[in-house]
């Protein structure tokens, strides 16, 4: 399941607030977000990974990936063609 960034942030905050207990964090998650009894919550390994990523970078790895995806998506084909044209013009000047 793809977890939304605000849910990840909640998990990291609760993990720290609960003294590093993944079980208490999962419990708080179930209370905060009304889930069915059998609906998935982030597992211990995922919680540890998100907290570790947050401590190392100040944000989750998924947030960094999403920022990169948005930057790449912002590059239109017109921009690519323009850069290619500029490159061709620049290299044609230096051809012997």
Per residue in 48-75, pLDDT (tens digit) is: 998 888 888 776 656 666 766 777 777 7
List own/partner pairs for 43-49 with CB under 8 A and 24 or more apart. Answer: 47/11, 47/15, 47/22, 48/22
Tokens at residue 57, please? Answer: 């970078």
Of 12-21, 57-66, 79-88, which has the strongest mean pLDDT? 12-21
Helix (DSSP H) and strand (DSSP E) numbers for the chain = 5, 0
Predicted pLDDT of residue 57: 77
Banded model confidence at residue 93, pLDDT cuts 50, 70, 90: low
Kindly report whether the global pTM for this prediction surpasses the value 0.95. no
For residues 52 and 72, what is the distance between their CA atoms, to the nearest angstrom?
A: 26
Length of the chain: 96
């Amino acid at each position: 399941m793809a977890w939304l960034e605000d849910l990840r942030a909640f998990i990291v905050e609760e993990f720290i607030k609960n003294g590093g207990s993944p079980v208490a964090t999962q419990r708080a998650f179930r209370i905060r977000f009304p889930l069915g009894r059998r609906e998935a919550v982030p597992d211990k390994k995922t919680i540890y990974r998100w907290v570790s990523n947050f401590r190392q970078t100040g944000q989750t790895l998924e947030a960094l990936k999403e920022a990169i995806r948005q930057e790449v998506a912002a590059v239109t084909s017109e921009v690519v063609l323009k850069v290619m044209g500029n490159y061709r013009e620049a290299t044609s000047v230096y051809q012997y």
